Amino acid sequence: MSDETTTIEETEDVADGATVSHVFDRFEGPHTIGSSTRFWAGFWILTALAFAYPLTTNEYAVLTTTVLFVWVFLSLSLSVIWGYTGIFSFGQTAFFGIGGYTFGVIGINLLPITGGTNLALIAAIVLPAVLAALIGYFMFYGRVSGVYVAIITLATTLILELLFSRTAGQQYAIGQAQLGGYNGMTGIPTLVLGAGPLSMELDALGMYYFVLGLLVATYLALRYVLNSNYGYVMVATRESQDRTEMFGYDIRLVKLQVFTVAGGLAGLGGALYASTGNFISPPVMGLAFAALPVIWITVGGRTTIIGAIVGTLGLRYFGNQLAAAGSEYATIFLGIVLLVAVLLLPDGVVPTLERYWERRFHDGGGEE
């Protein structure tokens, strides 16, 4: 009962807020957390702090944080396809890996010629998206659903891992790029953006700002889409495919589109990963890595993109700290956190906190 009242009150609050800041109207709705002026203030303050962070620390920490951010692209892609559209893909790492390798191959070959990596970055989004479209077409137009989608996507990423692991030896090269087998591909260029005199090679700091900027832009873009008509169709597809198609929506097409875009988003993450570390290897497409984004967003809250971000940054951060302390602790920690989250907070940490916050806020000073 108190829940309902809270929701109604909240909506009125939104309506008031809307007159103040019309700008964010299209970024707000029931499918994304946070709509108050307070939320947006907090959001921009956090963003500003993240931009200021490199000033307070050393280059190594900046690099580690950049990699943390890179993983969020993978999580967001899973949140969009699984959390919002209800399709459990166990193989988003396939697109992440293909994105990384695509960036590596094209970057290594074209950098000496064009002096930039623009094309490599774009291809690293397009190629995984095309692969996703292909797999998605056969799955969704073949009426494959539920656990079979999980099996097919997992098989895809495992097969790719296997294929790339078998590419040791000189003969496995695409142009100048050695695929390198299980040890991976080295010598992947850092990002060189722009062209001609405006060309700019991103050092560690530049990469940090670029990835952070992309992350903020991606977050806002996703909020826009998720609160648009299209976002409603995604959520409707998640809630009931049968009901949704009876309203005239072609849910096969919707699932294909979302899966394709999610593939591209994961590919972007892979490209950023490969260029940040100048390296990529097959294990990023292996079983252990395939499970990671599932755990991150399950703990964070898969039906909210903030949950995906918080879960990824939080777990990855503590994982890194523990890995530094002793190699096995990290995995055990992750397992325990997943168990606790699934048993005690099935919706994830962020949605649970949000409900708690709303109730508290309502009980405290409800006049607002």
Partner 1 sequence: MSIDRDMGSVAKESSEEFILETEGLTKRFGGLVAVDDVDYRIPFGEIRCLIGPNGAGKSTFFKMLAGRLQPTAGRITYKGEDITALEPHERARRGVSIKFQDVSVYPNLSVRENLRIPVQRYREGTGIQTAIADLLELVRLDGKEDVLVDNLSHGEQQWLEIAMATAIEPELLLLDEPTAGMTIEETEETGDLIRSLADQGMTVVVVEHDINFVRQIAEMVTVLHNGKVFAEGTVSEIEDDEDVQRIYLGQE
**According to the binding rule CB under 8 A, does residue 251 interact with partner 1?**
yes
244 binds partner 1 (CB under 8 A): yes
| Shortest Å, Cβ 148 to partner 1 | 20
| Amino acid identity at 224 | Y
194: CB partners within 8 A, 6+ apart: 116, 118, 200
Find, among 309, 305, 303, 298, the residue nearest to 341 by Cα: 298
Contact region with partner 1 (CB under 8 A), list: 61-69, 194-202, 236-244, 255-263: 236-244
Show the DSSP H helices in 81-203 as ranges. Answer: 92-114, 118-140, 147-165
Residue by residue, DSSP assigns 322-346 as: HHHH-TTHHHHHHHHHHHHHHHH-T
Cβ distance to partner 1 smaller for residue 212 or 254: 254
Nearer to partner 1, 19 or 56 (CB): 19
Provide, rounded to whole angstroms, the least separation between the CB of residue 27 and partner 1. 17
Cα 216 to Cα 214: distance, rounded to the nearest angstrom? 6
Query: Within its chain, how far is the Cα of 56 from the centroid?
Result: 27
359 binds partner 1 (CB under 8 A): no
Q: How many positions of this chain bind partner 1 (CB under 8 A)? A: 22
For partner 1, which is the closer residue by CB, 30 or 181? 30
Q: Does 239 bind partner 1 (CB under 8 A)?
A: yes
Closest by CA to 319, choosing from 52, 71, 56, is 71
Note whether 243 binds partner 1 by CB under 8 A.
Answer: yes
Q: Is 2 in the site for partner 1 (CB under 8 A)?
A: no
d(CA 186, CA 94): 19
Distance of alpha carbon 180 from alpha carbon 166, whole angstroms: 9
**In the complex, least distance from residue 25 CB atom to partner 1, rounded to whole angstroms:** 12
Q: Which two tokens stand for residue 161?
A: 């891992």
What is the sign of the dihedral through the CA atoms of 271, 276, 156 and 215?
negative
Which residue type does 253 have?
L
Of 40-48, 59-67, 230-238, 259-267, the segment contacting partner 1 by CB under 8 A is 230-238
Residue window 12-51: x/- pattern of binding to partner 1, with contact defined by CB under 8 A: ------------------x---------------------
Contact range with partner 1 by CB under 8 A, out of 114-122, 241-249, 271-279, 321-329 = 241-249
Report the interface residues with partner 1, using CB under 8 A: 4, 7-8, 11, 30, 229, 232-233, 235-236, 239-240, 242-251
